[in-house]
């Protein structure tokens, strides 16, 4: 399956990595590598993530990396990475439901 990153997801990953890098550039790099590793897992098994409770739709799922939620939508031919949020942040539904 093809992976498609939303502009919002790219923006969030960039912002979070920059924030982490302020204190520890190596940790920021490892975190970004972890994001991509998780996405590879999703690519291999799209239904492996849990359904996002805020929307309760089987095609909108999430996987967890540390304190972060990686929210994605499964399709017939692709997987769309919708956003990445800290687990303590409220997940605005309008960010993930089109």
**pTM to 2 decimal places:** 0.91
CA distances from 27 to 40, 86, 87, 88 (A): 20, 16, 18, 20
Sign of CA dihedral 29, 35, 38, 42: negative
Q: Are 83 and 9 in contact (CB under 8 A)?
A: yes
pLDDT in tens, 40-88: 999 999 999 999 999 999 999 999 999 999 999 999 899 999 999 998 8
Residue range 2-95 forms a domain whose CATH class is alpha beta
């Amino acid at each position: 399956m093809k992976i498609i990153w939303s502009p919002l997801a790219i923006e969030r990953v960039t912002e979070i990595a920059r924030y982490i890098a302020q204190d520890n550039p190596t940790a920021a790099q490892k975190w970004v590598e972890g994001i991509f590793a998780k996405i590879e897992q999703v690519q291999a098994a799209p239904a492996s993530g849990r359904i996002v409770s805020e929307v309760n739709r089987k095609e909108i799922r999430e996987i967890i990396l540390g304190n972060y939620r990686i929210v994605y939508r499964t399709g017939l031919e692709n997987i769309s990475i919708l956003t990445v949020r800290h687990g303590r942040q409220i997940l605005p539904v309008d960010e993930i439901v089109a």
